[in-house]
Amino acid sequence: MNATPRFLQLADVAEVLNISGAQVYALVRRGDLKAIKIGGRGQWRVEASELEAYVQRAYAEADRFVRDHPFVEGGPSSRE
């Protein structure tokens, strides 16, 4: 049996990413994080693999940012 559930509630995603549920909902509604609506009340669920794909895209975006904005000791980037 797989210990990790295939689908996560938005609250679970928020906990994993250490952000608020509202922030996760915004990611979903913007299309940044793929999710599905299930059930009569339309509960959002995020597949664990989609969460991992989102995290990998975020790492790639951070890598591009670091590459395009080199850190300079004492420079304006050191305040970010």
Q: What is the pLDDT of residues 12-31, one digit of tens each?
A: 999 999 999 999 999 999 99
User: For residue 47, what are the domain limits?
Assistant: 7-70
State pTM to two decimals.
0.81
Burial tier of 5 (Cβ tally within 10 Å: 0-12, 13-18, 19+): exposed
Which DSSP letter does residue 78 get?
G
Give the residue-averaged pLDDT of 70-75: 84
Q: Using an 8 Å Cβ cutoff, are 46 and 34 in contact?
A: yes
Residue 2 lies in a domain: no
Q: Is residue 78 part of a domain?
A: no
Band the pLDDT of 80: cuts 50, 70, 90.
low
Q: What is the CATH number of the domain that holds 18?
A: 1.10.1660.10
Q: Per the structure, how many domains does the chain have?
A: 1
